[in-house]
Copies of this chain bind each other. A is one copy, B any other.
């Protein structure tokens, strides 16, 4: 058994530390968040922190690290009020990872990757073309996490698009069929296979 306590962790070399602590909470969702500035400059950022917050109303959240992540995403979504969340699939992991490169704000990641902007139903922010599951969201609120200066962004799901063959009869989206990936740590991309679904759990007598 390997063991680290908080004191050990604080003394680790920086890259080792971020690899370790980014891996230890388990798999993370893999999404591209796309926005457009009022000037029309599009932006894509990769986020491994998108989480489900509630179904009624349908809300999601994600974490922004203000000090290390370029602020284009935050600036655009607060100024325009909208953003899109798009799954990352097996065939797009290399370009998705590349959107984490720090480009200047006047350069669009759409011009530096294979991804094509897809405008749907009059929504101001672009979707990622060919994403099999995409959401158009309104910016709702954000919370300052005072412990480390992170922001928790809250968005409402206003539009949900799902490619054929993924939505099952009970509303479940079979992410294996979508070839949606999960993120391991900072830079690992993994493809899950569904093992089982279980019924609503009830106490044993």
Contact = CB atoms under 8 A, between A and B. Distances in A.
Interface of A: 1-6, 9-10, 12, 14-31, 48-61, 63, 65, 85, 87, 90, 93-94, 97-103, 107, 112, 133, 135, 140-141, 143, 145-148, 150, 152, 154, 156-164, 166-168, 170-176, 180-182, 184-185, 187-204
Tally of this chain's copies = 2
A21 B190 CA distance: 22
Contact of A190 (B14, B30, B194): B194
A191 B195 contact: yes
A80 B180 CA distance: 39
Nearest to A180: B26
Given A101-B201, A195-B90, A58 B6 contact: yes
Contact of A158 (B1, B6, B192, B203): B6
A201 B100 contact: yes
Contacts of A54: 21, 65, 147-148, 150
Nearest to A27: B182
Query: Which 5 A/B pairs are nearest by Cβ-Cβ distance?
Result: A26-B29, A19-B171, A190-B192, A23-B173, A16-B171
Nearest to A54: B148
